[in-house]
Structure 1
Amino acid sequence: MQFRLLGAMEIFAAGRRIPIGSRKERLVLAVLLLEANRWVPIGRLVELAWTEEVPESARRTVQSLISRLRARLRMIDQALNIEREGACYRLTVDRASVDVHRFRDLLAAARDADDNTAAALYSEALSLWRGDGLTHEVAAEHLREELAELRLRAIEDQMDAELRLGRHRSVVGRLSALASAYPYRQRITGQLMLALHREGRSDEALECYRRMKNRLMEEVGLDPAEELIQLELAILRADPSLVAQPSSLDLAGVASLPPMQLPADIVSFSGREEHVKHLDALLPDDGAPPVATLVAIAGTAGIGKTTLAVHWAHRVRDRFPDGQLYVNLRGYGLANTVEAADALRGFLDALHVPSQQIPTDTDQAAAQFRSVLAHRRVLILLDNARDAEQVRPLLPGGGRCLVIVTSRRQMSGLVATEGARLLRLALFTTHEAYELLARRIDRERLQADPAAVEALITACGRLPLALAIAAARSAVQHEFPLRAIADQLKAGLAAFDCGDAATCLRTVFSWSYGALSEPAARLFRMLSLYPGAHFTPAAAASLTGARLQDAQAQLAELADMHLIDEYRPGRFTVHDLLRTYATELAEAVDPSVDRRAAARRALEHYLHSAHDAAQLLSPHRDPIVLPPVLPGVHLEPFADHDEALSWFMAQHDALLAAVHLAIKLALDAHVWQLAWSLADYLDRQGHWKDQLSCQRLAVEAAERSGHPLGRAAAFRNLARAHLRLTQYDDAHHHYSAALDVYAAEHDVVGQAHTYGNLSAVHVLQEDHHAALHCALQSLQLFERAGHRAGMARALNATGWYQLHLGDYDLAIDSCTRALELHLEIDDRHGQANTYDSLGLAHRYLGNYAEATACYQRSIDLYRCLGDRYNEADTLTHLGENLLASGDRSGADQVWRSALRILEDLGHPDAAKLRRRPPLSGGSQ
């Protein structure tokens, strides 16, 4: 068991974090742990648990909390028990299992030890702190202040020991940070002055003294302590006593000083809080080995792998008293890759193995490395690894060391064979991106133009390296408005070149691209031609014309290099800046004829896949005839309606972009055919504005290509979007235009469909007689053509208008005949429409239970079909029926469900629904 109070309160059992319960339970437990093995009066528990006015029930509350805690602790460990004697309680635990007591015990041991041992003990004690203060669960401020002061004194004692050992070089950086954090701690200032003086930086040491003296005089009216005054004089005189004496250097130990090879920490590190917590969890306590001995941090170029690894390594380095080893393996970059043998030689030399004893054979050197580390606790950072094979010889054999590997590859081999914990880095969130900029750009400058900051973040695609470059550019061009800098970055990758290969995006990307096989490299270039942000293996194979299994292997290679991201099984995306890089490559490498052929195949993939999906969404819709699929084009396999709808939703943006790609390629037939294939999906999901723009393009394209029936279909779909948006005059105009085209082409079925559409416009304009007339004309034309699906829809429409004209018996007869036809041909959308009509008929006849059953059946069908607008519309009808039956509460509930959908769709009917009396008095 491990109880942690030095930071956020945590309990660990067998390396697993245990939930503790309510805040008050954690608070009482924290007090009992602070007083471990001692009797605590209930009054003191109350005193330490409440900062606010203590309620009269406080004692009873504490008794109840202890009862619950006792049960919780026994579930974790039967030996754990909270005892009671009179009005006192005691929790008996091993002091070493409570970090506060272990901290105090280590400090006590350090005070009686020699400097070498003391330095290690102080380091071990301070590593127990996971924040600057005692857990916030403890309400008593004086306890938190007492422990915070004890921690600070321990740091000062540790620094004294390190300075006595002559380790001023290794502590000067930490002392500088401490002096900034605690500007009034004169002891720390004195330690920093001594370390700087020994480093030959006496001017800086004296400046530290002057700053402290001025600060004390101006703010508290005091002179520095006598010890600090004497230290300044000694530095001015270059007093020999300030030089570290050979006797204090522990010369026998200098030869075995642990390696401290970590690169400098990033002062402006920000973001990655969850990842840091995940890494922290690998080190449950200082006395046990790490939970995982190997961590692989993977991600695309510029995502911040090294930054995170170095920052966290500095954060936990005190837990590895035998040192830290670092090597840049240069798996990707301009320089030659570091071979395992060279890295091993460097590590063994840092661990003080005589050079003549280091084997030249890689396997023998690896074995010696494992032997040297067998009983040591070392942190090893293997940066920028090429692959698992480069890493394996550098892994220790024991469980006391921790290895961090960073790589652009996913390192699945290390996960599979070495049990590595994989930590994949994603793009920054918008908040993290803002914080990175705020740490490097004046916040006032950011706050002055939030829109420009948003544009800056968008231009960088939330990629950490790109954001860092943007921040650097804004610092250099401080007089430029942020908006101008954002516009520069939008112009292309050239704007992300700072003149340094290590931070030039195009160069950094090229290191990943250069490691690809030729087929994968070609696919990466072709992805720049893809008309959307998300793609599937079938779409990728269509781009290159490759076999599907070959494309899948190439996608796996790109994903392994983090040049694309498989965000769901079989669903991929590519970052905008990487896509820009791919565009540059394609234009430089691939002939225009090849690029056009690839774009054409991608368009064919979308057109034929969308047509197949549309047929599954509306199996009784009259299909259009497409040309044969081009060679090399692969289609999406859809098993059923749900898969088709899911694909439409995932590819929504790409499909709309494909319409524009077809226009760019002057493939007008593809434009109106794609628009036709999208029409039912866009309508049912409420994307009516997308429908408007899409179908307008389709009307123009069908006219250019001389395809009158395609133009008529686009007119009808355009009119349907206007109808959904309650723009009835526009809807009537476009339906009439479609009717004229169908009549000129002698298309009976087209005319029948359009008369049915016009009837819907008339009824919304409250002209039920005109609506019934159009419905009957539609029915007559469908009967002449023998079109059973059309007959069913026309019969349902006829029944609906008969209802509104008061002919209830005729209406039920028409709707019943419609339902029978819809059931025969298994038209679920038609069934849903007809059940809605029958629901209204039963409501008018006062058969509220039958009406509710019909409405519910209609709603279930619409929901399965993904028709959100009609689901909301029928919910509204159900609410009217429930209200008429006297169930006001039920009506209010279903209307709220309908309102949520309509608001999500941005439909004008939402405003009408809000005005209904049951909704007007409640919260929305």
Structure 2
Amino acid sequence: MSMRSGPIMSAEPASSRERPTVLLLGPVGVCGPMGTFAAPPARARVLLAGLALADMKIDSLALFRLGWGAEANPRSGAVVQVAVHRLRAWLAHATDNLVTVISEGGGYALRYASGAMSDAHKFQQLVDEARSCPAEAPERVQLLEQALALWRGPLLGDVPSDRLDVAVVERLLQQRRWAEADCAEALLAQGAARRALDILEPAARRQPLDEWVLALLVEALCVTGQQAAALTAYDTVRRRLRDELGIDPGDRLRAAYLRLLRRSASASEPTAASGADRPVRTMTPVPAQLPPAARRFSGREPQLRMLNGLLEESIPETAIALITGMAGVGKTALAVRWAHRVRDRFPDGQLFLNLGGHSAVGPMSAADGLARCLRALGTSADQVPADQEEAAAVYRSLLADRRVLVVLDDARQVGQVRPLLPAGPGSLVIVTSRERLLGLIAHDGARTVELSPLAPDEGRALLIDALGAERVEAERTAVDALIRTCSGLPLALGIVAANLSAWSGSIAEYHAELTERRLTALEVVGDERQAVRRALDASFDALPPRAQRLFVLLGQEAKPVVTIESAAALLGRSPRAARRLIRRLASAHLLQERRPDAYTMHDVLRYYAQEQVARVDGHRAGGPAYA
């Protein structure tokens, strides 16, 4: 069975009534002369639905299978004849002879008087007319709304459709889905979002996996000020797609969600007086999260010039600067100082995120970092996607057309950083890390800015800034010795400057105490963040056990230069194994490579390594990890 272009018409004069007479788009029945609904008996409803859907002759045996759900037998023809006679009599009474059943060459068909037709045929007629109209034509929407108004419920609501022409049933359902989505899309384009919602909400309930319908629903809810409902609708379909089909939302649905997140999180409902579909929205916030720059800063002119060079280059993607160096060498201070210098070049905001790569509570996950950034960019907490990949896509979309400076401080792994990289040109990311993060260099094109300890004159300038030139110059020899003992680390020198400001003795006397107490003296009482030992603990704890053991062993060595061979001898392992561990220490900036396969250790690191002997030996006694 298949639908023809039109129903069988009588040759009698046309009736003035042009409304659908046989009703299929809901409970099956007919519309009588006065517009009242009437339903035939149960078996007659099946026969009426089959004949109306077919719009052509159905032979007697096929009609028997349709009405009785069984294979034909010798009595089938007679049984069908009786049933058709009863249906014909019922139709004559219910429709005032607008519809009847005719016999044709061993089969049966419906015949309509002029002006009568099924609602399914009328629906198709209106949809075809709408398709022929330009997309922006008002008539298109009018025709589609008329077509959709014919539906009174589920197709063939009280007739089992498995006996009917499956292709025709499916085609009607597909046409309804298209008409709903196309009409709603046109209404949204015209600014009639509330009319679109009247179509989309029931459509979404019937088609919970239809991404076109759901994308339009998210859009309509959003522009009518119902952001929370839009988010719920998106999250529901996202979970259904993943749970039932094993897929993520497609481009159309994802784009609708991104448009939702681009709107102000503080959008308000339209007022009743205005009757507007679109809510009033505030401007997208511009984050300004940079912490204050360090009060005292010395040197780093070559590194500042390298960073300035990134701004002058024409880079097709987001520029990335990776500032690396050992704990306490001043990575954050450099990043923040330079970020303040250039923040005016990034009018869309500055994001600062401490990734906690070496904090006591552990590294921040990329998902948490994305959530914080999205909230800073105006996304309310309930709109932040729980899925990390989805949150990263939203983050990139929000920054796609913006010039933003992003500072990611204390990264431990590339996985913390990569989801937080904007995708388009114009933005710049500064990453600080104790690790070399080679994957960020190789894959993402990061430019490395390596920080070494301060040179003696730079360290002296820092102390002069804190203590005054007169005091520093008066004990030049002691000051230089102090800088060497601190290995030129800005963190250590800052602690020394703070302690000397409250020290009543000479600098030489302070240096003598520092030499005796070493790391214990390199802390500021009452400020646990200002402690060299605490900073180094985080680097040491991040090492695997065998690398920790080698670090401690190297701290006991009197020789200033360590080679792969000497490290292998200390470990009692092969040069290959020693090289792997040496490179791990160098990657964490706990060793400095002077030439190929030759490394040195700063004095402060050596002091720290010597303190860890008991700790490593104790662990070694407890298990084989250090063997």
TM-score tier (shorter): 0.5 to 0.7
Determine which of 569, 572, 587 is the counterpart of 1:545. 572
Shift of 1:253: 9.3
1:480 to 499, 502, 505: 505
TM-score for both structures, normalised by structure 2: 0.52
Question: How big is the shift at 1:390?
Answer: 1.1
Q: How far apart are 1:271 and its partner, in Å?
A: 1.1
Equivalent position to 1:416, from 431, 436, 442: 442
1:587 Cα shift? 4.1
Within 5 Å, which residues of 2 pair with 1:910-921? none
Indicate whether 1:280 and 2:305 are aligned: no
> Which amino acid is 1:272 matched to?
R
SS class of match (2:390): helix
Work out the CA distance in 1 between the residues paired with 2:441 and 2:370.
22
Is 1:431 the counterpart of 2:439? The answer is no
Separation in 2, partners of 1:427, 1:437: 15
| Counterpart check, 1:513 vs 2:536 | no
- Superposed CA deviations along residues 814-864 of structure 1, whole A, max 9, x for unmatched, are xxxxxxxxxxxxxxxxxxxxxxxxxxxxxxxxxxxxxxxxxxxxxxxxxxx
Instruction: Report the counterpart of residue 263 of structure 1 in structure 2.
Output: 291
Structure 2 CA distance, aligned partners of 1:476 and 1:268? Answer: 17
Cα pair distance change 1:253/1:486, threshold 3 Å: farther
- Map 1:315-714 to 2 at 5 A: 315-477=341-503, 479-491=504-516, 492-499=518-525, 500-590=527-617
Letter in 2 for 1:573: T
Secondary structure at 2:290 match in 1: coil
Q: Quick one: distance in 1 between partners of 2:480 and 2:345?
A: 40
Offset of residue 358 of structure 1? 1.8
CA contact (8 A) 1:292 1:421 kept: no
> 1:213: which partner in 2?
none
Secondary structure of 1:297's aligned partner: strand
The whole-number CA distance in structure 2 between the counterparts of 1:437 and 1:305 is 19
Report the counterpart of residue 275 of structure 2 in structure 1: none
CA distance in 2, matches of 1:362, 1:314: 30
**DSSP 3-state at the match of 1:295:** strand
Letter in 2 for 1:275: Q
Q: CA deviation at 1:292?
A: 6.6
Q: For residue 407 of structure 1, report the CA deviation from its aligned partner.
A: 0.5
Mapping of residues 738-753 of structure 1, within 5 Å: none
Q: 1:350 to 1:262 in 2, by over 3 A?
A: same
Alpha-carbon deviation of 1:451?
1.2
Structure 2 counterpart of 1:390, one-letter code: Q
Deviation string, structure 1 residues 281-309 (Cα, Å, up to 9, x no partner): 11118xx6689711111110101000000
Q: Give the aligned residue type for 2:591.
A: I
Query: What amino acid maps onto 2:540 in structure 1?
Result: Y
Deviating runs (4+, > 3 A) in structure 1? 252-255, 288-292
For 1:498 and 1:354, locate their aligned partners in 2 and report how far apart those are by CA, in whole Å.
40
Q: Which amino acid aligns with 2:360?
A: L
Contact 2:317 2:424 in 1 (8 A): no
3-state SS in 1 of match to 2:524: coil
Asked if 1 retains the 8 angstrom alpha-carbon contact of 2:318 and 2:421, the reply is no
**SS of 2:296's equivalent?**
coil
Secondary structure of the residue aligned to 1:334 is: coil
Q: Which has the higher helix share?
A: 1
Secondary structure of 2:311's counterpart equals coil
Correspondence for 2:322 among 296, 301, 310: 296
Relative to 1, partners in 2 of residues 1:588 and 1:356: Cα closer, same or farther, differing over 3 Å? closer
In structure 1, the partner of 2:268 is none
Q: Give a deviation string over 1:482-534, Cα, whole Å, max 9, x none.
A: 11111122121101022333221111101000011111010001002212111
Distance in 2 between the 1:469 and 1:486 partners?
13
Please state whether the residue corresponding to 1:501 is helix, strand or coil: strand
Q: Determine the C-alpha separation between the residues in 2 that align with 1:543 and 1:389.
A: 34
Structure-2 separation of matches of 1:559 and 1:406? 16
Report the Cα offset of residue 442 of structure 1.
Answer: 1.3
Trace 1:12-411 onto structure 2 (pairs within 5 A). Answer: 255-284=283-312, 293-411=319-437
The superposition leaves residues 66-107 of structure 1 with CA deviations (integer Å, 9 ceiling, x where unpaired) of: xxxxxxxxxxxxxxxxxxxxxxxxxxxxxxxxxxxxxxxxxx
Q: Which runs of 5+ in 1 are unaligned?
A: 1-251, 595-631, 633-924
Q: Which residue identity is paired with 1:503?
A: Q
Identity score, percent: 42
State the alpha-carbon separation in 2 of the partners of residues 339 and 460 from structure 1.
33
- 3-state SS, counterpart of residue 533 of structure 2: helix
Number of matched pairs: 341
The letter of the residue matching 1:401 is S
CA contact (8 A) 1:282 1:291 kept: no
Return the letter of the residue paired with 1:506: R
C-alpha separation in 1, matches of 2:555 and 2:403 = 48
Give the conservation status (yes or no) of the 8 Å contact 1:370–1:395: yes
Contact 1:290 1:402 in 2 (8 A): no
1:260/1:325 contact within 8 Å kept:
yes
> Residue type of the partner of 1:480?
G
**Which amino acid in the other structure matches residue 507 of structure 2?**
L
Change (3 A) 1:364 1:464: same
Q: Which amino acid aligns with 2:287?
A: P
Question: Judging changes above 3 Å, is the alpha-carbon distance between structure 1 residues 290 and 260 closer, same or farther for their aligned structure 2 residues?
Answer: farther
Separation of aligned partners in 2, 1:566 and 1:313: 29
The 3-state SS of whatever aligns with 2:594 is strand
Give the Cα separation in 1 of the matches to 2:352 and 2:456: 32
Q: How far apart, in 2, do the equivalents of 1:344 and 1:589 lie?
A: 37
Paired residue type of 2:582: L
Higher relative contact order (CA closer than 8 Å, sequence separation 6+): 2
Q: How does 1:699-848 map to 2 (within 5 A)?
A: none
Q: Which amino acid aligns with 2:607?
A: T
* Contact residue 284 and residue 291 of structure 1 kept, 8 A: no
- Indicate the SS of the match to 2:448: strand
Question: Deviation of residue 577 (structure 1)?
Answer: 0.7
Distance 2:553 2:372 in 1: 43
Contact 2:318 2:427 in 1 (8 A): no
- Cα displacement string for residues 421-467 of structure 1 (whole angstroms, at most 9, x for unaligned residues): 01111111111111111111111111111112112112211111111
> What letter is aligned with 2:606?
R
What does residue 204 of structure 1 align with? none
Inter-partner Cα distance in structure 1 for 2:515 and 2:312: 45
Supply the distance in 2 between the matched residues of 1:543 and 1:254 (Cα, whole angstroms). 65
For the residue of structure 2 that corresponds to 1:367, the secondary structure is helix
Cα distance per residue 1:394-413 (max 9 Å; x no partner):
11111211000000000111
Q: Which amino acid aligns with 1:465?
A: L
